[in-house]
Amino acid sequence: MSGEKILIVDDNPTNLKLVAYLMTANGYEVTTALDADAALTAIERNPPRLILMDLQLPGTDGLELTRRLKADPMTREIIVVAVTAYAMKGDQDRAMAAGCDDYVTKPIDTRGLPATIAKHLQRTPEST
Protein backbone atom coordinates (compact mmCIF):
# COMPACT_ATOMS: atom_id res chain seq x y z
CA MET A 1 0.00 0.00 0.00
CA SER A 2 2.14 2.72 -1.38
CA GLY A 3 2.19 6.06 0.41
CA GLU A 4 1.48 4.63 3.85
CA LYS A 5 3.39 6.16 6.76
CA ILE A 6 6.05 3.96 8.36
CA LEU A 7 8.21 4.79 11.36
CA ILE A 8 11.52 2.95 11.63
CA VAL A 9 13.00 2.83 15.14
CA ASP A 10 16.60 1.57 15.28
CA ASP A 11 19.63 2.81 17.21
CA ASN A 12 22.04 1.60 14.50
CA PRO A 13 22.35 4.36 11.87
CA THR A 14 23.45 1.89 9.17
CA ASN A 15 20.43 -0.36 9.72
CA LEU A 16 18.17 2.67 9.89
CA LYS A 17 19.49 3.99 6.57
CA LEU A 18 19.18 0.60 4.83
CA VAL A 19 15.62 -0.05 5.95
CA ALA A 20 14.57 3.55 5.26
CA TYR A 21 15.97 3.26 1.74
CA LEU A 22 14.18 -0.06 1.20
CA MET A 23 10.85 1.30 2.45
CA THR A 24 11.15 4.53 0.45
CA ALA A 25 11.99 2.50 -2.67
CA ASN A 26 8.76 0.59 -2.08
CA GLY A 27 6.75 3.81 -2.03
CA TYR A 28 6.24 4.31 1.69
CA GLU A 29 6.47 7.64 3.52
CA VAL A 30 9.27 7.05 6.03
CA THR A 31 10.13 8.67 9.35
CA THR A 32 13.03 7.46 11.50
CA ALA A 33 13.98 7.51 15.16
CA LEU A 34 17.12 6.39 17.00
CA ASP A 35 15.47 5.73 20.40
CA ALA A 36 12.15 5.50 22.20
CA ASP A 37 11.94 9.21 23.05
CA ALA A 38 12.51 10.22 19.43
CA ALA A 39 9.96 7.60 18.36
CA LEU A 40 7.31 9.02 20.69
CA THR A 41 7.96 12.51 19.35
CA ALA A 42 7.71 11.26 15.75
CA ILE A 43 4.46 9.41 16.52
CA GLU A 44 2.96 12.52 18.08
CA ARG A 45 3.95 14.73 15.12
CA ASN A 46 3.11 12.36 12.28
CA PRO A 47 1.35 9.15 13.40
CA PRO A 48 2.44 6.18 11.29
CA ARG A 49 0.30 3.28 10.20
CA LEU A 50 3.14 0.82 10.93
CA ILE A 51 6.31 0.84 13.05
CA LEU A 52 9.40 -1.28 12.41
CA MET A 53 10.63 -1.55 15.99
CA ASP A 54 14.16 -2.59 16.91
CA LEU A 55 13.91 -4.42 20.22
CA GLN A 56 17.39 -3.48 21.46
CA LEU A 57 17.22 0.28 22.02
CA PRO A 58 19.16 2.40 24.50
CA GLY A 59 17.10 3.44 27.51
CA THR A 60 13.54 2.28 26.96
CA ASP A 61 13.74 -0.86 24.83
CA GLY A 62 11.45 -1.74 21.95
CA LEU A 63 9.38 -4.17 23.99
CA GLU A 64 8.56 -1.56 26.63
CA LEU A 65 7.82 1.06 23.99
CA THR A 66 5.48 -1.38 22.24
CA ARG A 67 3.68 -2.10 25.53
CA ARG A 68 3.16 1.63 26.06
CA LEU A 69 1.89 2.17 22.51
CA LYS A 70 -0.54 -0.76 22.70
CA ALA A 71 -1.85 0.40 26.10
CA ASP A 72 -2.68 3.89 24.78
CA PRO A 73 -6.03 4.24 22.96
CA MET A 74 -4.46 6.88 20.69
CA THR A 75 -1.71 4.54 19.42
CA ARG A 76 -2.92 0.98 19.97
CA GLU A 77 -4.04 0.55 16.35
CA ILE A 78 -0.54 1.22 15.00
CA ILE A 79 0.90 -2.00 13.60
CA VAL A 80 4.21 -2.86 15.29
CA VAL A 81 6.65 -5.24 13.61
CA ALA A 82 9.53 -6.24 15.89
CA VAL A 83 12.93 -6.26 14.20
CA THR A 84 15.88 -7.80 15.99
CA ALA A 85 19.34 -9.25 15.49
CA TYR A 86 19.07 -11.16 18.76
CA ALA A 87 16.80 -14.03 17.76
CA MET A 88 17.10 -16.22 20.83
CA LYS A 89 14.63 -18.87 21.93
CA GLY A 90 11.62 -17.13 23.45
CA ASP A 91 12.33 -13.71 21.93
CA GLN A 92 9.49 -13.98 19.43
CA ASP A 93 7.09 -15.00 22.21
CA ARG A 94 8.19 -12.01 24.32
CA ALA A 95 7.72 -9.65 21.36
CA MET A 96 4.23 -10.96 20.66
CA ALA A 97 3.32 -10.82 24.37
CA ALA A 98 4.41 -7.15 24.43
CA GLY A 99 1.92 -6.44 21.64
CA CYS A 100 3.99 -6.73 18.48
CA ASP A 101 1.99 -7.77 15.44
CA ASP A 102 4.88 -9.61 13.79
CA TYR A 103 8.54 -10.50 14.28
CA VAL A 104 11.38 -10.15 11.75
CA THR A 105 15.03 -11.04 12.28
CA LYS A 106 18.14 -9.26 11.06
CA PRO A 107 19.84 -9.29 8.70
CA ILE A 108 16.82 -7.91 6.88
CA ASP A 109 15.50 -9.95 3.98
CA THR A 110 15.16 -7.19 1.39
CA ARG A 111 12.55 -9.17 -0.53
CA GLY A 112 10.63 -10.59 2.41
CA LEU A 113 10.31 -7.42 4.51
CA PRO A 114 8.33 -5.41 1.92
CA ALA A 115 5.98 -8.38 1.50
CA THR A 116 5.50 -8.65 5.26
CA ILE A 117 4.74 -4.94 5.51
CA ALA A 118 2.32 -5.03 2.58
CA LYS A 119 0.50 -7.97 4.21
CA HIS A 120 -0.02 -5.99 7.43
CA LEU A 121 -1.02 -2.78 5.70
CA GLN A 122 -3.72 -4.59 3.74
CA ARG A 123 -5.57 -5.18 7.00
CA THR A 124 -8.07 -2.60 8.12
CA PRO A 125 -7.73 -1.27 11.67
CA GLU A 126 -11.01 -3.00 12.59
CA SER A 127 -9.60 -6.41 11.62
CA THR A 128 -6.51 -6.21 13.85
Measure Cα distances from 35 to 32, 38, 53, 64, 124 in Å. 9, 5, 10, 12, 28
β-sheet with 5-9: strand ranges across: 29-33, 5-9, 50-54, 79-84, 102-105
Nearest CA-CA partner of 55 in 2, 98, 110, 14? 98
What tens digit of pLDDT does each residue of 47-95 get?
A: 999 999 999 999 999 999 999 999 999 999 999 999 988 778 888 999 9
Pairwise pLDDT comparison (118 vs 125), residue with the higher score = 118
Pairwise pLDDT comparison (7 vs 2), residue with the higher score = 7
Using CA atoms, how far apart are residues 104 and 126, in angstroms rounded to an integer? 24
pLDDT for position 86 = 74
pLDDT for position 128 = 45
Evaluate if residue 123 carries a pLDDT over 90.
no
Please check whether residue 22 is in contact with residue 14, taking contact to mean a CB–CB distance below 8 angstroms.
no
Evaluate if residue 127 carries a pLDDT over 70.
no
Q: Which amino acid is at 1?
A: M
Using CA atoms, how far apart are residues 48 and 125, in angstroms rounded to an integer? 13
Give the chain's domains with CATH numbers.
Answer: 5-127 (3.40.50.2300)
- The pTM (predicted TM-score) of the whole model is 0.93
